[in-house]
Amino acid sequence: MASRGRKRKAEAEAVAAAGKREKPAGDRKSVEEATVVIEHCTSRVYGRNAAALSQALRLDTPELPVEVNPAKPRRGSFEVTLLRPDGSSVELWTGIKKGPPRKLKFPEPQEVVKELKKYLS
C-alpha cells in the first residue's frame, strides 16, 4: 500500500507543472501597430549583430518600431519576429538551430528586410 505522502506529492507536482506552462501566442501583449522584435543572447557577438540588423530595419522601414530583447532572451538565441496588430506573429529569422560555425546563426540584414517587406505587402 502506498503511503499518503506520495499521493499528495504527485498531486502537488501536477498542479505546479500546470502553472509553469508557456503562454500561447494569443496571450502576448497586444500591439497597436506591427512591430519587429529581435531576441538575441546577451553575448557580445550576438549584440553586435542585433545592433546592425536593427539599424538596417530602422533605415528601410522607419515607420515600423523595432524592439530588441523586450523580455529576458533565451540562451544562444537569435530570432527576428514580426508581431502583427491582430495578435499573430511571423518568424522572419531564427538562428537557434543553425551552426556551427557561429556565423550561420546571424542573417544578412538585407535578407531579413526582404522577408519583412514580403509580409508587410
Those residues whose C-beta lies under 8 Å from the C-beta of residue 92, and which sit 6 or more positions away, are 36, 80, 81, 82, 112, 115, 116, 119
In the chain, how many domains are there? Answer: 1
Cis preceding linkage at 100, omega within 30: yes
Residue 109 is assigned to a structural domain of this protein: yes
Q: Residue 103 belongs to what domain range?
A: 35-120
Residue 41 is assigned to a structural domain of this protein: yes
Distance CA 19, CA 23 (A): 10
Task: Report the DSSP pairing between strands 66-68 and 89-94.
Answer: unpaired
String of b and e for 35-50 (b: at least 16 CB within 10 Å)?
Answer: bbbbbbbeeeebeebb
Residue 27 is assigned to a structural domain of this protein: no
- CATH, residue 39: 3.40.30.10
Residue 74 is assigned to a structural domain of this protein: yes
Give residue 83's pLDDT.
Answer: 92
- Global pTM? 0.66
Q: What is the pLDDT of residues 21-78, one digit of tens each?
A: 333 343 345 557 889 999 988 877 777 788 888 899 999 989 999 998 989 888 888 8
Residue 4 is assigned to a structural domain of this protein: no
C-beta neighbour count of 93 within 10 angstroms: 19
Q: What is the pLDDT of residues 74-98, one digit of tens each?
A: 888 889 999 998 989 999 988 888 8
Residue 42 is assigned to a structural domain of this protein: yes
Residue 53 is assigned to a structural domain of this protein: yes
Question: How many residues are recorded in the chain?
Answer: 121
Residue 101 is assigned to a structural domain of this protein: yes
C-beta neighbour count of 116 within 10 angstroms: 21
